[in-house]
Chains A and B, each alone.
Chain A
Amino acid sequence: GAGVSQSPSNKVTEKGKDVELRCDPISGHTALYWYRQSLGQGLEFLIYFQGNSAPDKSGLPSDRFSAERTGGSVSTLTIQRTQQEDSAVYLCASSFRPPGQGRKETQYFGPGTRLLVL
């Protein structure tokens, strides 16, 4: 596709339920990132995938959060046993290369998934 796509665009769930958020990066982009943005806040890094390397999971806030990237393309962010504080916009981005490695490192963001945990 032309850009990064994410689904669903909005998700309302009950506390304690599991949710899965999907990200389709731009074709050919080897780097994929997940961020979280709470109301009125900046973006909080969650996890980063680069090619076939082990992902950088250092931003995941708890073991309820996990992500995978199948076949080096589509990624799924899973939140288990959701809590109200998980309510936020979850943004996915992709880039041809990671920042600082020269050209084609620009991160292109998807429209995000707005998650509301009741």
Chain B
Amino acid sequence: EDKVVQSPLSLVVHEGDTVTLNCSYEVTNFRSLLWYKQEKKAPTFLFMLTSSGIEKKSGRLSSILDKKELFSILNITATQTGDSAVYLCAAGGTSYGKLTFGQGTILTVHP
């Protein structure tokens, strides 16, 4: 059975801190790993990673995939209160369209 595990489950930091969120996966015929940010209901897409070692970057957020060790990290530098959210990691495998999600990391950024 496909599995995605995120850590930590929750994280509390102060504005300006840098955080690293972890995601490990076991997915048959792995194709892609995705990160989402969920603030209220609808998750919003952040990154999709398919190749090892290539960092994807968007502003203060970046992510990288290690297909040998089966994990990905999401980094957020100079955190702001608006970064407070649940960050979800998902992996896609054999079945097109079927993503397996991790349980999420709850990030709280205090002023």
Contacts and interface: CB of A to CB of B under 8 A. Distances in A.
Interface residues of B, number: 27
Contact of A110 (B42, B97, B103): B42
A43 B98 contact: no
A101 B95 CA distance: 11
B90 interface: yes
Contacts, number: 77
A25 interface: no
Interface stretch (B44-52, B60-68, B69-77): B44-52
Interface of B: 4, 6, 31-32, 34, 36, 40-45, 48, 50, 88, 90, 92, 95-104
Interface of A: 4, 31, 33, 35, 41-45, 48, 50, 56, 58-59, 89, 91, 98-101, 105-112, 114
